[in-house]
């Protein structure tokens, strides 16, 4: 098995991956379908993968690796878990998508709402970005307010109004962090530093009546792992409740990973809405957003807030999600992922 540390600075010969990357660069911007895959931060040529099995992944040159990334989160059961593969195969044999409701989406929704009490109802989408975008739209409709508050260091997908960089002030007006995003799109976004309770209180004292929602990763994990003090998250909960704003937990990464009920369960804090992805799709393109029934009632067709998706709730993705959650349930006697990860750096050979 190849030591991943030897990948740096082109220390390893990867002719097949190199050739594929050269071809990809001619037809795909940057040669990749998501920027983080381009290896720009670590150097070298991206590795092209051919298959995975359990905790192992195999590249186009036949090398085997211990995979600590697992597709950036969805594969909590590992690559090609037999139960997940069987569920996907069974669903495929019955049809890939119907453009109509299916039983599997009801079953997965029941599973999510049972595990996450704050989500009394959920709506399935096809990505975490779409889940967050939709949750914010619903929050704005429910509160009849425009302002959204996010935190520097938290990532909520690539929707225009969330691609915002922090400025120099304590509570800055959003400035686009990507080309192609007009400042008008981020004008209703405010950015705060994580764990700055004073700035949070100052912002609410000034703009509390205009704030629709505060969105935060309860365990930020896109700029390294940034555990937050429970007291800070509790302060957000208290301030949003007092001012009539909604609290949205972005649990795309932490949901069904930290615990069955995500970070909300571990922290003992109940948000008004939450977003999910990754684990609930078991490697298929799935996202979801949920919340209190009174909030979700604003969604069409019952309410006046539009959201739709051709492949939302498709039977193949729902089957993968159900099988993945089943695999987690069947491991109830096994230590949690957090417990299993304790001391892992010391056990990995250099």
Tell me whether residue 250 is one of the annotated catalytic residues: yes
Burial of 314 by CB count in 10 Å (0-12 exposed, 13-18 middle, 19+ buried)?
Answer: buried
Tell me whether residue 304 is one of the annotated catalytic residues: no
Beta bridge partners of 130: none
The rounded distance, in Å, linking the Cα atoms of 295 and 287 is 18
8-state DSSP, 288: E
Residue whose structure tokens are 């930290």: 258
Nearest partner of 117 among 5, 269, 253, judged by Cα: 269
The rounded distance, in Å, linking the Cα atoms of 245 and 211 is 6
SS3 label, residue 348: coil
Distance of CA 11 to the CA centre of its chain: 33
Beta bridge partners of 213: 148, 246
Residue whose structure tokens are 């905790």: 55
* Segment (H or E) for 31: none
Catalytic residue among 61, 278, 304, 326: 278
Beta strands in the chain (DSSP E): 49-53, 56-59, 64-66, 121-125, 147-151, 164-165, 171-173, 175-176, 189-192, 211-216, 246-250, 273-277, 287-291
CA angle centred on 89, ends 87 and 91, rounded to 5°: 70
8-state DSSP, 34: S
How many residues in total does the chain contain?
350
Structure tokens of 75?
A: 């594969």
SS3 label, residue 255: strand
Tell me whether residue 18 is one of the annotated catalytic residues: no
Catalytic residue among 250, 304, 306, 326: 250
The rounded distance, in Å, linking the Cα atoms of 126 and 284 is 9
Structure tokens of 328?
A: 């987690």
Nearest partner of 139 among 150, 153, 127, judged by Cα: 150
Catalytic residue among 155, 195, 272, 304: 155
Catalytic residue annotation: 155, 250, 278
């Amino acid at each position: 098995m190849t030591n991943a540390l030897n990948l740096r600075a082109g220390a390893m010969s990867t002719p097949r991956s190199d050739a594929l990357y050269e071809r990809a660069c001619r037809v795909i911007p940057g040669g990749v379908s998501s920027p983080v895959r381009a290896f720009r931060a670590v150097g070298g040529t991206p590795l092209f993968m051919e298959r995975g099995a359990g905790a192992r992944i195999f590249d186009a040159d036949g090398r085997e690796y211990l995979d600590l990334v697992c597709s950036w989160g969805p594969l909590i059961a590992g690559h090609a878990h037999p139960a997940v593969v069987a569920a996907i195969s069974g669903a495929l044999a019955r049809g890939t998508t119907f453009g109509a409701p299916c039983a599997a989406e009801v079953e997965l929704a029941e599973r999510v709402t049972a595990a996450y009490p704050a989500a009394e109802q959920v709506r399935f989408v096809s990505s975490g970005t779409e889940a967050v975008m939709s949750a914010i739209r619903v929050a704005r409709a429910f509160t009849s307010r425009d302002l959204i508050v996010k935190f520097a260091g938290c990532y909520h997908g690539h929707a225009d109004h969330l691609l915002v960089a922090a400025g120099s002030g304590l509570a800055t007006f959003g400035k686009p962090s990507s080309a192609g995003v007009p400042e008008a799109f981020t004008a209703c976004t405010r950015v705060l530093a994580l764990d700055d309770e004073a700035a949070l209180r100052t912002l609410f004292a000034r703009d509390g009546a205009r704030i629709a929602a505060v969105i935060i990763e309860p365990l930020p994990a896109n700029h390294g792992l940034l555990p937050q003090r429970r007291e800070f998250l509790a302060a957000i909960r208290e301030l949003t409740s007092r001012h009539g704003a909604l609290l949205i937990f972005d649990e795309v990464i932490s949901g069904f990973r930290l615990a069955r009920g995500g970070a909300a369960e571990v922290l003992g804090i109940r948000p008004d809405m939450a977003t999910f992805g990754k684990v609930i799709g078991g490697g298929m393109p799935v996202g979801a957003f949920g919340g209190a029934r009174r909030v979700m009632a604003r969604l069409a067709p019952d309410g006046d807030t539009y959201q739709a998706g051709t492949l939302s709730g498709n039977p193949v993705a729902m089957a993968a999600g159900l099988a993945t959650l089943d695999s987690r349930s069947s491991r109830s006697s096994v230590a949690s992922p957090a417990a299993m990860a304790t001391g892992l750096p010391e056990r990995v050979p250099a």
